[in-house]
Amino acid sequence: MNRVDLNWDDNEVLPDRMRPDVEFLFGRMSSATLDMVDPHPGERILDIGCGRAIDIVNMSASGADLIGVEPSFVMLSHARESLKLDGYNTAVLQGIGESIPVVPGSIDKILCKGALDHFSDPDRALKQIATAIKPGGSAVIAIANFESLGFKIGKLIFGCRKLLCIKNPYKRLPWELPPDHTFKFDYRTLVEMAGRYMKVDKVTGVSMLCCTPGWGDMLAAFPAGLTRFIVLSLDRVSRVFPMLSDVIVIRCVPR
């Protein structure tokens, strides 16, 4: 099992310049995930890998009882500061997805956004999630798709560049596993792994073509209205074809 980085900080991975495609992806990923969680008053909702607790802040007006779990001391500090500044009284605990610090069958809904591919053992984490959910509850998981259409196009472009002996200008290509990730997910592997322990009852895609070489710079050169129209149109296509989308969001229920 890989060691857990207790000092991990997302400041080290956030891009210096937020291109229109990346900015849209982050915002749409959050809204699509929280729409699928659909928090209600009195529900106990657990956010695994809660990071800065931004999603907890965004769910706070729902009246749900919110709990965040995060292994990194640094990110826990960010999370508590976010919650303190916004005036929310929410439990944020140190823990890992492979050993969730809650009573089995005690959680109405679980959220895990952009975190599962950081876990040392994603399969074990999904088993833990299935154990923690109440009968009639649900788990929503959002994860980057490493077999997205954008990545496929990028691989084709850089394959041609390599044949033409054009030097690669990047230290790491977007479809290569980042150093803080442990697993490459795509549509098939996510649905298959989650399906071992839960029933996958809804799947949607978020965004398309994000991180395709040159795409973000081209969008930045367009008028803002045209850029918005393009990214929204591609997002609608991604919902129909989640296997090609940049991010996959699934909702699971107990068997």
pLDDT tens-place string over residues 215-226: 999 999 999 999
Q: How far apart are the first and last CA of the chain?
A: 28
Domains present along the chain, CATH in parentheses? 10-254 (3.40.50.150)
SS3 string of 85-125?
A: HCCCCCEEEECECCECCCCCCCEEEEEEECCHHHCCCHHHH
Quick one: pLDDT at residue 249? 98
Q: What is the pLDDT of residues 172-185, one digit of tens each?
A: 788 888 888 899 99
pLDDT in tens, 9-27: 787 666 667 899 999 999 9
Q: What is the value of pTM for the model shown?
A: 0.93
Alpha carbon distance 121, 161 (integer Å): 36
Q: What 8-state DSSP symbol labels residue 6? A: T
